[in-house]
Amino acid sequence: MRAEAAGDRVPWRQQEILRRGNWDADALRDIVCDYVVEALGDPEAVLVVDETGFLKQRRQSCGVARQYTGSAGKITNCQIGVFASYVTPAGHAFIDRALYLPVNCH
């Protein structure tokens, strides 16, 4: 969708820009958070924090462990991502993220 909005028929050029870029994820998060609060700011805003599991076959990725995930409804090999969203009557947006690192993670 992003490529189409930029006038590209296929996503390859957009993906190449993202692949080559040297991103400071925390700085980008701060910019997005500031924008969201400015665009959706509301004294009745709510911060919603939720987790989701990313199922994994092996343990080669950081944070993978046998742990419970609602995505599978059981204990299985997975990563857990924790996400924060800013929610108002005017709209909602993700504003932060973290990878949960279990104690037995190696």
Q: Is residue 106 part of a domain?
A: no
Cα–Cα dist 68/83, whole Å:
17
Q: Is residue 43 part of a domain?
A: yes
Quick one: pLDDT at residue 5?
66
Q: What is the DSSP string of 26-37?
A: HHHHHHHHHHHH
Question: Above 60 in pLDDT, residue 97?
Answer: yes
As a whole-number percent, the residues of the chain with pLDDT over 70 amount to: 92
Domain that holds residue 23: 2-100
Average pLDDT over residues 1-7: 64
| Total domain count, the chain | 1
Question: Above 60 in pLDDT, residue 106?
Answer: no
- Average pLDDT of the residues of the chain: 88
Contact 84, 97 (CB under 8 A): yes
What pTM does this model have? Answer: 0.74
Q: Is residue 105 part of a domain?
A: no
